[in-house]
């Protein structure tokens, strides 16, 4: 029998039962106030997995405080994604999850990103360092909920990526592309001794104050944002 044939991979109610048995072995725990009262109200007849704390009176499910919170993908499919990503020796791409789970590519991308974030152990060491170079750029993907498609990029999600030459890549879903949105992430993830490389966008103008050097020697290819870099000579 395949591991993926287990009931909690195919039935959402069973998926909730399984996750509760793992996270709440001693019974439901309110994620809002930490109450372990055995008198929490069971509202599962009104919504799958729903409970109400008898102390703080707030509603919750076992998904609150986990990578599954506020996701609109059925919990059983998200558990499949976790299994596939943790058992695949060479990893699994968002495109593969999109095809296997039969969900949109955008949903698969965000789910994979959440799971990878949860798998990080402790604090990540800063990227770069003395003699190191980190390339920085942002791109736009998908379409925000409740925002109609229009010219420009206001309706798209913004992704910031940091690429250490000869090393790792880190990507972040950010709310905007101003210096206030991006620079704190750069400071938290890149060592001060690093040389950083960006395009000539205004939000990157003063990075030399925070890092060993700043080369604005990257420019967009043929106008369209998010289509990659080309080295600027001259």
**Residue spans per domain, the chain:** 133-231
Q: Supply the mean pLDDT for the chain.
A: 84
How do residues 167-191 score in pLDDT, each as one tens digit? Answer: 788 888 888 889 998 999 999 889 9
Residues 43, 50 contacting (CB under 8 angstroms): yes
pLDDT score of 47: 94
Residues 48, 30 contacting (CB under 8 angstroms): no
Residue position matching structure tokens 């599962």:
44
Asked if residue 218 has pLDDT above 60, the reply is no
Residues 104, 98 contacting (CB under 8 angstroms): yes
pLDDT score of 201: 87
Look up residue 9 and give its two tokens: 């991979």
Strands 157-164 and 213-215: unpaired
Q: Which helix (H) or strand (E) holds 136?
A: strand 133-141
Q: At what angle do helices 75-87 and 94-101 cross, to 10 degrees?
A: 140
How many Å apart are CA 18 and CA 82, to the nearest integer?
14
How do residues 144-153 score in pLDDT, each as one tens digit? Answer: 777 777 777 7
Beta bridge partners of 169: 163
How do residues 69-101 score in pLDDT, each as one tens digit? Answer: 888 999 999 999 999 998 887 778 899 999 999
How do residues 28-59 score in pLDDT, each as one tens digit? Answer: 999 888 888 778 999 999 999 999 999 899 99
Who has greater pLDDT, 152 or 63? 63
Residues 78, 100 contacting (CB under 8 angstroms): no
pTM of the model: 0.53
């Amino acid at each position: 029998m395949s591991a993926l044939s287990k009931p909690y991979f195919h039935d959402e109610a069973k998926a909730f039962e399984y996750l509760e048995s793992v996270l709440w072995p001693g019974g439901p725990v309110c994620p809002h106030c930490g109450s372990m009262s055995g008198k929490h109200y069971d509202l599962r007849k009104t919504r799958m997995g729903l409970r109400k704390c008898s102390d703080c009176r707030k509603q919750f499910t076992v998904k609150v405080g986990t990578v599954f919170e506020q996701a609109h993908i059925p919990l059983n499919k998200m558990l499949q994604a976790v299994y596939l990503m943790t058992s695949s020796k060479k990893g699994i791409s968002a495109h593969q999850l999109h095809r296997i789970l039969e969900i949109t590519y955008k949903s698969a991308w965000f789910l994979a990103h959440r799971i990878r974030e949860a798998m990080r152990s402790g604090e990540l060491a800063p990227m770069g360092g003395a003699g190191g170079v980190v390339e920085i750029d942002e791109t736009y993907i998908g379409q925000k909920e409740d925002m109609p498609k229009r010219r420009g990029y206001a309706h798209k999600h913004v992704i910031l990526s940091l690429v250490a030459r000869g090393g790792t890549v880190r990507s972040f879903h950010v709310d905007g592309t101003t210096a206030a949105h991006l620079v704190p992430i750069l400071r938290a993830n890149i060592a001060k001794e690093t040389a950083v490389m960006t395009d000539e966008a205004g939000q990157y103008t003063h990075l030399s104050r925070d890092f060993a050097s700043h080369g604005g020697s990257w420019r967009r290819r043929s106008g369209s944002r998010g289509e990659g870099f080309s080295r600027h000579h001259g």
